Amino acid sequence: MCVAAHPHAPYLRGQLGYPFELFDAVEVWNGRWTSSVAWQADNEAALAEWGRGLAAGVAAGRWLPAVGNSDAHLRGQLGSPQTVVLADELTTAAVLAGLRAGRSWIAASRDVELTLTASAGARVAGIGEVLNAEEAVVAASVRGVGSGCVSFHTEQGRIHSATLPPDGAAEVIWHVRASDAGFVRVEIRDGGGVMAAMTNPVQLRSSVG
């Protein structure tokens, strides 16, 4: 796989000059460049650029998954953030297949737990999967992010949000029509607006007609 790594890095020649479409995935969340800023402007820029292209990619049948990597800019930084891959088994081939399909999400640390599903009756689709139904129930389950906020995003941007309790454990339910949204993804931010976790999308396809 070829990943567009930290495409808006804050240093000389750090701005990626190639379109994301040439890559297999986009690193929207890179480790800290400085210890004084937890969630930095280059990550926000990469996330925004990836998000703008996601709707067109889903509509065209090829969207690029988002990944997060820690690098090692600072002491003790490894693993923050980290990409959690929903692989069928613990093999190189299965992990790569999960990454290519976007069956993954990003966490600030292993202390954060997150699931995202869209369901219609007995049919259920998870991160990186497709749900064929006109009406869907979207559920995000979160643990490990106290007093934060969970937000649901579609091609229309941030469309729904809810405040997390102080203990950081909650399940948030949202109802959506596939005719109104081609996908749903989730962001979890702490009380200061710092990213704690985010997912790749669950795709929605209308079964009407």
The pLDDT value recorded for residue 73 is: 79
Per-residue pLDDT band at 75 (split at 50, 70, 90): confident
Most confident of 4-13, 14-23, 151-160: 151-160
Give the pLDDT mean for 160-185: 92
Q: Where are the domains of the chain?
A: 3-205
pTM for this model (two decimals): 0.93
The pLDDT value recorded for residue 18 is: 84
- For residues 204 and 117, the answer to whether their CB atoms sit within 8 Å is no
What separation in angstroms does the CA of 109 have from each of 53, 55, 207? Answer: 27, 28, 38
Other beta carbons within 10 Å of 87: 18
Handedness of CA 36, 41, 42, 47 (dihedral sign): positive
pLDDT at 93 over 80: yes
Per-residue pLDDT band at 124 (split at 50, 70, 90): very high
3 Cβ contact list (under 8 Å, min separation 6): 23, 24, 25, 26, 27, 67
Other beta carbons within 10 Å of 47: 20
Residue written as tokens 């490894």? 78
What tokens were used for 199?
């997912």
CATH of domain 3-205: 2.60.40.10
DSSP code, position 9: -
